[in-house]
Chains A and B, each alone.
Chain A
Amino acid sequence: MAKPFSPKVVTANALLEGDVVYLTADDRWTRHLSEAEILYDKGQADLRLMQADGQPDAVVGVYLAEVQPGPNGPEPAHFREDFRRTGPSNYPHGKQAEPSDV
């Protein structure tokens, strides 16, 4: 039997800044994982990935990242995605340095 599909989000880096971004349900690119659209089935995920891939003027390096749905939206399923969501651990740079209410 095929493995059940684990929930995903579409993620990429912003073309100009390189910031980690996520695709929202209303087709925006957000800096916040909590606002990302969670994709629960493979067909939908592949479609959203394709749509995201068609925006080379906005983003680069589009892929599907595994997440776990939580009370405050998607949470990273792997530590790599957790670092991407936060920023490096040696300096308060990257997302952790940005105000969270924008």
Chain B
Amino acid sequence: MYDYNEFDAAFVAERNRQFRAQVERRVAGHLTEDEFRPLRLMNGLYLQLHAYMLRVAIPYGTLDSRKMRQLAHIAERWDKGYGHFTTRQNIQFNWPRLNDVPDILDALAEVEMHAIQTSGNTIRNVTADHFAGAAADEIADPRPVAELIRQWSTDHPEFQFLPRKFKIAITGSPNDRAVTRAHDIGLRMVERDGKPGFEVIVGGGLGRTPMIGKVIRDFLPQADLLPYLEAIVSVWNLLGRRDNKFKSRIKITVHEHGIDDIRTRVEERFEMLRPTFSGIDQTLFKEIKAAFAPPALHDRATAGFESAYRTDPVFRSWCDTNLAAHRAPDHAIVQISLKAHGATPGDASATQMRVMADLAERYGHDELRISHEQNVILPHVHKSDLPAVHASLRDAGLATANIGLVSDIIACPGMDYCALATARSIPIAQEIATRFDELKLEHEIGALKIKISGCINACGHHHVGHIGILGLDRAGVENYQITLGGDGSEAAALGDRTGPGFSAAEIIPAIERIVHAYLDHRTDPQETFLQTYRRLGMAPFKAALYDEVEAYAAQ
């Protein structure tokens, strides 16, 4: 875990002091809303439908128990006792009062957190693989690189007024859990001739014009990272469209100019910039790396785990769905589902946050991660501790065994909270999860990612959902479009639209028909939904959705 140095602490304290004064001036009437809005957005404070919303960065999704407990404290003291974990590894508080926000920011600073650059046309919170530092398939821990990028991009003087927001994601594993191909810049840590470096992907993004990112450099030596990133962002900063908000993201710049043209410009700029990096970034990187030294794992027997696994079916089911392979075979990565059937995806109460903090401290080397899939991870748990961890989670309503299954749905806040939304997302997610729980089918269905966005901006990543749902306003009524075959992994693909959308009442049966069509057409239970879709294409699903409504309704 990176600890703030004096510079970091002083910087955040100064920003908080400035914001406190700005809030005071706004409340006293010395600043108009037009003057204040950019200032509050620089500090992650939005105005939503029913209230303000404060978006707090959880850099590369990493937390410790102290930070998690402080989030619980903030939720209780200044909000309504819960927080919402987002698809960008942030946490959002939905009900802060404007004049409490300076105190909330000070409380965050006490635990080395902030809300800077979680909004506005800046480089946003850098996201990373949520299994970073623990995964069995990992080449290297991406978090030191993410922290280096955070420090470089925070308050970077050239990049405070970019054409639009800019998002960077990084993975250290060949199995991409960070959706790097759907980011403005995606970084994949690779090795060449034994030397560490990056595959650099640029111009990915979802939103109204979804694009899969393109490789701009297939191997960038590690030491060249910051000058190369600076070259990309500065090329786009000059070239990016400021005349049209919908064409301002780098994906459009890359699309309009072509990746070869952008590459030439970036390489030219990189040649200019590289000598200006004196090597201080590499010295800093070494220090940061030391802060992410892997925890000293225990060497203990796993017999207790094995016997619980054999004898307790509830525990076994949870292990089978919610654990992932740790690099140490006697350890496991525990995924805590924030998707209890019928609950709001990504929400955790203050009590639940404290339970997770306690478990991390007691059993997990004091580490917690937030995933872009809106779940929480204990990255390093010895297998012998799993029965105790499971029991505590169960008592806190956190032991839902559904990771990667049909009810593990990503959903943006939608029109229940968001001022931009065109339809609700949360109730659709709640109903789908509840329905498939009633059917007791989700373990039979297997791996299936449903992702729901309540508007075209696609915070719910619907384009890369195996089943994507997009909520729209059609003539004053909520209407839901479906896409199939999207994939956010290293084999990234955008989903294909099935056809006309469905009303709020029709969408749950429609999803059910798609799933039944999959069960009817799969070669065997090992063939996943995505594999079946890739083999058969749209036709059988379209038929189930639009032509065979009666037949499937009878099931």
Contacts and interface: CB of A to CB of B under 8 A. Distances in A.
B415 A16 contact: no
Nearest to A66: B476
A75 to B, nearest CB: 13
Interface string A64-102: 000000000000011110011001111101110000000
A96 B442 CA distance: 34
A89 B29 CA distance: 34
B49 A20 contact: yes
Nearest to B347: A90
B419 to A, nearest CB: 8
B415 A90 contact: no
A84 B50 contact: yes
B50 A16 contact: no
9 contacts: A13-B47, A13-B51, A17-B97, A19-B50, A88-B50, A88-B417, A89-B416, A89-B426, A93-B80
Interface of A: 13, 15-20, 56-57, 60-61, 77-80, 83-84, 87-91, 93-95
B48 A18 contact: yes
B248 interface: no
Contact of A90 (B29, B48, B427, B476): B427
Q: Majority SS of interface residues in chain A?
A: loop
Nearest to B411: A90
A31 B300 CA distance: 60
Interface residues of B, number: 30
Contacts of B477: 79
Interface in B421-454: 424, 426-427, 430
Contacts of B136: none
Contacts of B476: 77-79
Contacts of B94: 88, 93
Contacts of B493: none
Given A79-B477, A87-B50, A93-B80, A18 B97 contact: yes
A59 to B, nearest CB: 9
Contact of B416 (A18, A60, A77, A88): A88
B363 interface: no
Nearest to B98: A16
A18 B80 contact: no
Given A16-B97, A18-B50, A19-B51, A57 B430 contact: no
B256 interface: no
Interface string B362-404: 0000000000000000000000000000000000000000000
- B27, B417, B473, B477 — which one has the most chain A CB atoms within 10 A of its CB? B417
Contact of B47 (A60, A93, A94): A60
A26 B417 CA distance: 30
A93 B33 CA distance: 26
A79 B252 CA distance: 33
A84 B49 CA distance: 6
A13 B98 CA distance: 11
Interface string B8-48: 00000000000000000011110011000000000000011
A90 B47 contact: no
A14 B416 CA distance: 18
Contacts of B416: 83, 88-90
A89 B32 contact: no
A57 B28 CA distance: 7
A79 to B, nearest CB: 7
Interface in B443-487: 473, 476-478
A45 to B, nearest CB: 20
Nearest to B426: A90
B458 to A, nearest CB: 19
B313 to A, nearest CB: 31
B89 interface: no
Contacts of B95: 18, 93
A36 to B, nearest CB: 17
B33 A56 contact: yes
Contacts of A60: 33, 47
Contact of A18 (B26, B28, B51, B473): B51
